[in-house]
Amino acid sequence: MICDICGKEGARLRHVTRSYGKDENLLVIENVPVINCPKCGESYLTAETLHEIERIKLHRTGRSCARPIWTASAGSCRNKIAVPVAECS
Residues 9-57 have pLDDT tens digits of 999 999 999 999 887 788 889 999 999 999 999 999 999 999 999 999 8
| Spatial distance between the Cα atoms of 49 and 72, rounded to a whole number of angstroms | 27
pTM of the model as a whole: 0.75
Task: Tell me how many degrees the CA angle 43-49-52 measures, rounded to the nearest 5.
Answer: 150
| Domain ranges across the chain | 12-87
Label residue 86 by pLDDT band (50, 70, 90).
low
Instruction: Provide the pLDDT for residue 46.
Output: 96
